Every structure is written in structure tokens, then in C-alpha cells.
Amino acid sequence: LSDVLPDICEQGFFALLNQVYTAGKEYHNADCKTQLMVDGQLQTKYFDFSFKPLIDAQGTIYGVVNTAVETTERTLFAQQLQQVNQELSALNEEFQAANEELLATNEELHSMHNQRDSLHRGLAAREERLRFAMNAARVGTWDLDIQNNLVSWDDRCKELYGFSKNDIVPYAEVLRYMHPDDAPEVNEAVQYALTPASDGFYDVEFRTIGAEDGKLRWLYCSGKAFFDEHGKAYRFSGIAQDITEQKQQEEALHLAHLKLKEKEEQLTTAKEAAQLGLFDWDLVNKVYKWDARFRQLYGMPEQDSFDDSQAAFKHLHPDDVPRIKAAVLLSQTYGKSDGVYDIEYRILPFSGNPERWVRAIGKTLFDSDGTPVRFIGSVLDITEQKRQDQRRIDFIGIVSHELRSPLTSLNGYLQMLQLHAAKKDDQFTGNIAAKARRQSDRMAGMITGFLDVARAGEGKIQIQSKPFDIAELIKAAEEESLATITSHKVIYHPVEHVMINADQDKIEQVLINFINNAVKYSPQATTINVSAVQQDQHIRVCVKDEGMGIAAKDLPYVFDRFYRVDGEHLKTVKGFGIGLYLCREIIERHGGRLGVDSVVGEGSNFWFEIPVAN
Ligand code: ADP
């Protein structure tokens, strides 16, 4: 065999054969590679082969059977297939990588698309918003393509010049409808905008006279010119807006301003003529200002503003200070007194100036929460008026005093006459004497009133306090009104027994005055309610009528000396305007309070409060 197939033997097959022949163990090999000399050429062949020992009955190996099937073709094919497969899988991998890259690119592209879409949408929305804003603001747009001499202006722009939307109007027409007074200025602005020095900016206000409606409009135009590299304007565009209303408002504001200035001047003149002093307190920042005239009146140091609201108080009569502070506090309390402040008081003498009387009128301004923010007002020197008042009061005092003694004598004589007539049974003389006595009693009552006024002015009303029961006082008033009032229904509400320490006659005088006024100032047959109720440490007495009432503007003054509300009733209802003044003096001397609530045409409720006795 090695002679015939030496090439195979060299490849180890011979040794293998020997091994099977000696060891007696089968050998199999598949697709075994072999170099064979075929047709004079060494070729690679593949075989499935086996060596199988041939063993006789004695167990002796006597031969080897060799079977071989050539598998070259199959093996090569399988090898090729494997190679192709490997290539294919490499290709596959490559393909996968390419695919992934494609996918990534695709995604990028997709997101770019999305970005572009959202940008587009944003742009469209912005454009829409701009258009909307322009429409809302009723802004017109215009655009001049200077190079090609093309002009476009929108409907709104046309409208602003008084053309209707669908009119086809060349832009050059606008000049014809411009107000002749404004045209040169606009022209100049356009020319300037078209020179590079202006950077192209254009900004004008002018009037137009509506082409079709003849209406005068104020327009605001702004725009920009664009220049080429040679500095030549090639495009000019912008917007136009109707500012007529704004101009009218400006005009109205200007007029109002002028009026205000005029009023201010009038005020200053009036202030100077009346020699008014002004005060202005900033209650938030606590800056207190008094003007020069005010400071001059008070003898205050010359200083623009003070950080202490009390700076002025030390110049005032100490007796008046508590009253003034209470009035300031009341004015600055929200919901009370409407912020109004109106008070008269004395200024202490200083460096040769005598004591002076002033009237201060002011007002507190509140913010929307009811916090007082500013307190402003003026003071007027009323010393002379006070002196005249005093002279009047003095005169009334003297005259009343002088009238009293002859009247007392007259009354005595009338009493004697009455007695005499009764004795003589002379009814006629008795009647006349009785009537004459009633009249002289009335006169005596009036004179007492005048004397009281004179005394009150001097602070000389005598108060003789002793404890008494308020129920008794009301009872006395009830008895008196039952005897004297027939024209009205006076209802007395049940009263508790409450002790007060006061001058009973004087308090009765106040109550009777309220009731008599209720009778005087309300129609016949209407009801008058009288009540007395304890509230905390006070007793509050009220007289409520269904009469003519008092207007809000008069309310603060009805307790002033000689004050009578103006009106028709003045002619028919007699009075001097001293009753309520005396009431106030009496109640205040008792450390009490009094007031009135009233609605015109519905009635008034006069009340006073006196502290209850401990
Ligand atoms: P007189 O009644 O003498 O005029 P008073 O001092 O008593 O003076 O009253 C002052 C003013 O107040 C009156 O003139 C009147 O205008 C007004 N007045 C007083 N009481 C009432 C009332 N009950 N109803 C309406 N007005 C009144």
C-alpha cells in the first residue's frame, strides 16, 4: 500500500492502519483531509473512512477492511457555505449598524421636522397675535417699495384717511387729505427719515381731514426706512394709528389743568385776601406742615415741616386743647363725622400779639380701607368777629338786665290790678289783667333766655348739682306738656329710676326746650316720643318727632348761638336761635353730650346724655 500510495502513507494513514491491525480497534473519521495525487497533480480531497479489523475464530487479527467515501465536494460546499454564512453574518451586522444609524438619522430628522413644525406654528401664532394686536389696536400698516415704486397700504390705513375699505386709492393721495397746517412738518419728517443720518426712523403726529366723511382725525405714524450699501433708501414701511381720542383727552386734561391753575390762583387770592393759614398733615409718613400764614398766626417757628403733630398745640389756650384734640380725633376716625373738622379756639398771646380767636376747618382723607391718610384744612382769624359777637352779647346782657326790673314792677302792678278787679268783681278788668300778665311772663321768659346767653358767653351759667331721680324729671315734663300741649300727641315711654347728680332745673329746661322745638317744627297731630334709657354709665334722654327734619349741612350748626336753619318756616315759626345753644352749654357744663339725628321730611331725634351718679 505504501508503494502504491506513498503520499497517503506519509500523511499518517499507514501508522493508523498498523495501529488498527495490531490493536484490533475500529477507527472512523469523517471529512478527513487528504492530499492525493490525481492525474499527476497533488490534490486536496476529503473522505469519510473507517478501518475495521478482521478477527478469526481464535481472535487473531488477520486483516483490516478499509471503507472510504469521498466527501470532497460536500465538504468544500459546506466550507463555502460556512464562509458565505460568516460573510453574511458580517454583512448582517453591518446592515444592522447601518440600520441603527438610519434609525437614529430618521429620528433626528423627525425631531428636526417637529422642531421646524413647532417653529412654524410659533411663528404663525406670533403672526396671528401681532395681527390680532394690530386689529385690536386698530393699527393700519403701509409699505413703500421705493426701488420699484410700489405702494401698499391696508384697509385700516385707508379707513384712517376717511376712505372706505374697498376704495382703490393711490398712496400719494394721502397728502391731499392731510391738514394743511401739519403737511409741511410731515413732509420734513419723511425727507429726514429717507436720509441715512436719521437711521431711517420716522415718528409723527398729524391731523387728517377724512376724504369721504370730512372728519378730523389725529393720526400717529411711525416707520422705518431701509438703506442699501450706497445709503439709498429702498424701502419705507410702518404703521398708522388713530389717536384722536387720546388727543381729545389730552386737550381736556390741558383745559382741566388750566382751570385747576385758575382755581388755584383764585384760591391763593382768596386765601391771601382772607389771610387763611393752611395745614397739611401726611398721616402715613407723619410729616406735618403748616404754611407761613398759619405759623405767623400761631407764633410757631419758621420751619417747613415738623415730625410732631403736637407742635402747634403748645401755642393754644390750654382750656381749649382737650376740645381741639377730641375734634381732631373724631375727624380722623373713619365712619364718624365724614372726616369733617370745624372748631373755634384761642391762640395764646406771643411776642406782643394779643390773644386771638381762630376758626379751623379741615377734612381727613381716608384710603379705601378706612385708614386716615391725610388731614388738610385752613384757619381763619375770627378775633374781630368774636369781639363783635361779644359786644352784641354784652349789649343783650345789659338791655335784658335793665328790662328785668321794670318788667318785675309791671308784673307786680298787674297782680295788684288782678286782685283789685277780683275784689270789685270786675271781670273785664280781671281778664285783661290776666292776659297782660301772661304776656309779661312770656317777656320775662325771653329776657331770662337772653341773660342766660350773656352769662353762657362769659362761662357764668350757674350749675347747682344735687342727686335726683331721672324718672321724676320726666314726670315733671310730662305734667307740664299735658297742661300746655294740645296740638300734638306726646308719648312718654316707661322710665327706670336712675339717679343722676345734676342741676334739675337746668336739665328740665333742656328737655322742655327739645319738646317745645319738636312741637314748633312738626305738623299738628303728629306724635312726639320721649324716652330715657340707661346705657352703660349714662342716661340717654331722647325727644323724637315726625317733623320737617334738618338737612345734613345744617346739623353741625343747630347748637350754635343764634343759628336758625334757613327756610320758609323762619317766617312763621318764631325764635332767636338761642334755645339749643343754651342746651349745649348746660349739658356740656354737666360733662355730658348732646346731638341730633335727622332726615329731612321724616323727623328729628334730639338727645342728650348725662353720667349716672355713683
Ligand atoms: P329757635 O327754635 O328759637 O329758632 P333753637 O336754638 O331752639 O332756636 O333751634 C335752632 C334751630 O334748629 C331752629 O331755628 C330750627 O331751624 C332748628 N330746629 C330745632 N329743633 C328742631 C326740630 N325738632 N326739627 C327741625 N328743626 C329744628
515-538 pLDDT per residue, tens: 999 999 999 999 999 999 999 899
Q: Output the CA 366–ligand 1 centroid distance in Å.
A: 33
Identify the CA nearest to 461 among candidates 470, 452, 450: 452
Q: What is the arithmetic mean of pLDDT over 99-123?
A: 88
CA dihedral 245, 246, 252, 256 (to 10 degrees): 150
Kindly state the DSSP code that residue 57 receives in the 8-state scheme. T
Residues whose beta carbon lies within 6 Å of some atom of ligand 1: 517-518, 520-521, 545, 547-548, 550, 558, 563-565, 575-581, 604
With a CB cutoff of 8 Å and minimum separation 6, the contacts of 321 are 313
Quick one: pLDDT band at residue 437, thresholds 50, 70, 90? very high
Q: What is the arithmetic mean of pLDDT over 371-376?
A: 93
Q: Looking at residue 27, what is its pLDDT?
A: 92
Residues 316-335: pLDDT tens digits?
A: 999 999 999 999 998 999 88
Q: Looking at residue 172, what is its pLDDT?
A: 67
CB atoms within 10 A of CB 528: 23
Contact indicator for 290, 300 with CB cutoff of 8 Å: yes
Contact indicator for 580, 597 with CB cutoff of 8 Å: no
Q: Output the CA 589–ligand 1 centroid distance in Å.
A: 21
Cell (9 digits) for 128: 396671528
Give the whole-number percent of the chain exceeding pLDDT 70: 99
Q: Output the CA 590–ligand 1 centroid distance in Å.
A: 22
Residues 326-363: pLDDT tens digits?
A: 999 989 998 877 888 989 999 999 888 899 999 999 99
Identify the CA nearest to 344 among candidates 301, 306, 390: 390
Q: Output the CA 609–ligand 1 centroid distance in Å.
A: 19
Q: What is the arithmetic mean of pLDDT over 259-263?
A: 91
State which ligand 1 atom lies nearest to the alpha carbon of 543.
Answer: 23
Stretch (H or E) spanning 16:
helix 13-23
CB burial readout 109-126, b (16+ within 10 A) else e? eeeeeeeeeeeeeeeeee
- Range name among 46-50, 125-129, 253-257 with the lowest pLDDT average: 125-129
Q: What is the arithmetic mean of pLDDT over 224-245?
A: 91
Atom 8 of ligand 1: nearest residue by CA position: 577
Q: Looking at residue 371, what is its pLDDT?
A: 92
Atom 7 of ligand 1: nearest residue by CA position: 579
Q: Looking at residue 595, what is its pLDDT?
A: 95
d(CA 378, CA 274): 11
Residues 54-66: pLDDT tens digits?
A: 999 898 999 999 8
Residues 166-222: pLDDT tens digits?
A: 777 766 677 788 888 998 999 899 999 999 999 999 999 999 988 888 889 999 999
Quick one: pLDDT band at residue 122, thresholds 50, 70, 90? confident
Give, for ligand 1, the residue of 521, 584, 594 to mutate: max count of ligand atoms closer than 8 Å to Cβ. Answer: 521
Cell (9 digits) for 538: 349714662
d(CA 543, CA 606): 5
Atom 19 of ligand 1: nearest residue by CA position: 517
Q: Output the CA 566–ligand 1 centroid distance in Å.
A: 10
Give, for ligand 1, the residue of 450, 517, 548 to mutate: max count of ligand atoms closer than 8 Å to Cβ. Answer: 517
Radius of gyration of the chain (CA): 60
Q: Output the CA 568–ligand 1 centroid distance in Å.
A: 13
Q: What residues are paired with 227 via a beta bridge?
A: 233
d(CA 275, CA 392): 25
Contact indicator for 244, 138 with CB cutoff of 8 Å: no
Q: Output the CA 559–ligand 1 centroid distance in Å.
A: 9
d(CA 472, CA 498): 10
State which ligand 1 atom lies nearest to the alpha carbon of 575.
Answer: 3
Give, for ligand 1, the residue of 561, 580, 585, 598 to mutate: max count of ligand atoms closer than 8 Å to Cβ. Answer: 580
Q: Looking at residue 171, what is its pLDDT?
A: 64
d(CA 264, CA 253): 16
Residues 263-293: pLDDT tens digits?
A: 888 888 887 777 889 999 999 999 999 888 8
Cell (9 digits) for 317: 389756650
Contact indicator for 47, 53 with CB cutoff of 8 Å: no
Quick one: how many helices (H) and strands (E) in the chain? 14, 21
**Global pTM?**
0.51
Bigger pLDDT: 186 or 308?
Answer: 186
d(CA 514, CA 607): 8
Looking at every residue in the chain, the average pLDDT score rounds to 89
> Is the model's pLDDT at 433 over the cut of 90?
yes
Q: Output the CA 548–ligand 1 centroid distance in Å.
A: 10
Kindly state the DSSP code that residue 353 receives in the 8-state scheme. B
- Range name among 239-253, 292-306, 526-540 with the lowest pLDDT average: 292-306
Q: Output the CA 518–ligand 1 centroid distance in Å.
A: 8
Contact indicator for 377, 361 with CB cutoff of 8 Å: yes
